[in-house]
Amino acid sequence: MNKYCPRDLYDNTADFYEAVVRLYIRRLDIHVKKWYKSLNAASYIAFQDSKTVMLPVPKNRTAFLICLHEIGHIAEGWHEISYVNEYLAEMYAISEAKKWNIDTEAYEIKAKQYVLAHLVKDWNANRIKTVKKDIKEWLDVNPTKWKGHQLQLNEDFSISKLK
Ligand SMILES: [Zn+2]
């Protein structure tokens, strides 16, 4: 992959990020309906049926990883359980970014919190009774302790049981 966008071909990191994102967009035949110039997490979206996305301009690493996350939704297809859907997109973003030698350590912490928030919503809505093994290990959670309880996600991203 790196041979298509060699890092040293670009004067600055933002141009490199943009070239990489455009490479995925071409490869996956994705339509970008809108590029957002500012980071506003609520606005980014992927429509899997029409392969349409709305993305931040990838001018920094966070925006670049968000682009890969939304592209991941297209690449991985739709999963009806939301925490699994978000997990697949996060795994795609992280593993693809690593192929370009981009440090994902800080992003991965946010990604875990994001998937955990979706997991708690799915659990409290009784959409799930268990957590997939690989996701359980990645999040380091123990759902057997949660049986029969509603959950609360605390500000520090720990989980408390409600009655
Ligand atoms: Zn997502």
Question: Distances in Å between the alpha carbon of 84 and those of 33, 37, 118, 119, 132?
Answer: 25, 29, 9, 8, 8
pLDDT class for 89, splitting at 50, 70, 90? Answer: very high
Residue type, 8: D
Percent above pLDDT 70 for the chain: 96
Averaged pLDDT, 63-83: 95
Q: How far is the CA of 46 from the centre of ligand 1 (A)?
A: 8
Is residue 146 within 8 Å of residue 124, measured between CB atoms? no
How much is the pLDDT for 49?
82
How much is the pLDDT for 1?
62
Q: How far is the CA of 73 from the centre of ligand 1 (A)?
A: 7
**At residue 55, what are phi and psi to the nearest 5 degrees?**
-130, 155
Averaged pLDDT, 29-58: 85
Q: How far is the CA of 22 from the centre of ligand 1 (A)?
A: 19
Residues with CB under 5 A from ligand 1 (ion): 86, 89
pLDDT class for 37, splitting at 50, 70, 90? Answer: confident
Q: Is the pTM of this model over 0.85?
A: yes
Q: What is the mean pLDDT of the chain?
A: 93
In whole angstroms, what separates CA 79 from the centre of its chain?
Answer: 13
Q: How far is the CA of 8 from the centre of ligand 1 (A)?
A: 31
Q: How far is the CA of 3 from the centre of ligand 1 (A)?
A: 28
